[in-house]
Structure 1
Amino acid sequence: MDPKHRTVGTLVTKLSSVSERIRTDALSQLRQLSKNDPETRPMISDSGAIPYIAETLYSSSHLSQENAAATLLNVSISVKEPLMSTRAVLDGIAHILSHHSSSSAAAVQSSAATIHSLLAAVESFRSVVGSKREIVYALVDILRSYNSSPPRTIKDALKALFAISLYPLNRATVIHLGAVPALFSLIVKDGRVGIVEDATAVVAQVAGCVESAEAFRKVSGIEVLADLLNPATSASMRAKENVVSALLNLVRFCGEGVVSDVRGVLVDVVTALNGISDVAGHGSSKGKSKASNLLKILFDESGDFSNSSVTSTETKFDSLNEL
């Protein structure tokens, strides 16, 4: 057995010690190993450590929670299937996120980031996590608590919701659990460029289902999105591209009534049309395509609405790296 395997094996054995000090020290060392040496991540997983680490998420010690959550995040970067197949992992993450106001802030951040990490590359996991309503609700509640949540936690919660919403059947659940008012409140009241970019990326995803029409109407969502296209708001090009994606998804999924609503708002707010034209002229290649498709659906009466928009996979707003 090579030294790394021996070290990991020894530390994992200590996780079952009756001494809290020994368990805490072992978990701290596993955290550092998994952070600094990617080769140890599958070793930690294969050694049977995951259930012990997941159980520690319920600890009353913030330090233990933080070490456990960070270790799971580190391992998830390289090893995903064992974490998803260990039921205690999602349950423990749900516990941390649901108690975000009393748990270690670092543990909450790491737990949200772990959700994003698990879903970033494996599509089949998205339906599983999306069915865990406790996780989805907790992530939405973190957004509602933006005044008391660290910016990094807000961003990781947005990334997790983005990844969950990439699976089309999860979008209605995300909406039903209150994400739309939380997202738009964040966009209107927070104002930080990175937060607005991430929030509008999630908005673009949840717009891709029929349930979004009523949810957006209740918060004047179309008007808020149109305002972001106004050059006076100083929204970044990325945020504008997200807005275009959101409006495009709305008109694709929600019928002619919403097409008329969007068209009416954009006609009234000329600066918003200028913003769409700006994306069509100066955005990324996908941004340009989406802006052109949106304008065609709204204003080209000869256009074929069923074919003039991008496919659902293209409305993912590129990739998780872009959040």
Structure 2
Amino acid sequence: MPNWSPQLDAAAAKAPKTQRSDRDVLNLLTKRAKVLHLGPANYCWFTDPSRALCLKLAGTPTADRPLVGICNSARCPQATHHPCHRPVWAQHAERTETFLGQLGTTLKTERTRLQTDYDRALRVVAEIDAGSATMDEVRMRISAAQRTENENRIRAAMDRLLRSEIPPGGKYDIKTLANEAAVDRTAFYGTRPYAHLRVEFERRVQVLQQAGEIPDPREAQIIRLKAENAKLRERLAKSEQTIDELADFRTQAPARLAAQHEEIVLLRDAATGAGQVSRLPAPRTTVIGTCS
């Protein structure tokens, strides 16, 4: 069969543009740098002010600079996230999860807002991970033996937690499991390699809770609060008893001082009457006259 591949003319191909000097390169970079704003949680490419979410929220669409203080990079189309921003978002997700655990059941609006913020932070972390390396690349970096070792370590930590061997400050949650297994907590979510172990762990915890072998966290919290309340009541009762004793002592103190003073006066009088001391007459000071 004949070869129909076209023959490209090297002379007709458009050559890439070459800058003539370092000054031209510097000018090009300077022009691009004017729209780039570096932040601790994202990079802002301020190329089109009309698309900037911060300006829309502030009602100033014609501003020439972004408002970093109200930046919501997870929703702004001109913001990008990179691996250097991952620790900020991971820490934000961890703190938000802590706040969610401390909210009461009546704060439904606040819980909904924090849950949305928490999901957004996890999504950003997952996008950063997906952008830095695909799952195939992760599998290439982690050998089958390493993956098996990590899974065995996670399952061992899972068994310890389900035997109620909870470390100080830990709970029956993924955060404690990740810390015990020395694995990144984000590896248990989304399409990460250990998401199936998170599902398995949560299922086993739920089964044990239904069987009554693991106390419900809410009931355990109620029991703990009741014990702390009893201790505080006991301390309050002891404090009130001490205050009453001090008040009685303050009332009796003046009477005791008066009785001691009277006793001291009587002792002084007795000591004066029992003495055998004679008083000498005063010397004469009258002058009769001269002896001349």
> Structure 1 length as normaliser, TM-score?
0.22
Q: Which has the higher contact order (CA 8 A, sep 6+)?
A: 1
More helix by share: 1
Asked which structure has the greater CA Rg, the reply is 2
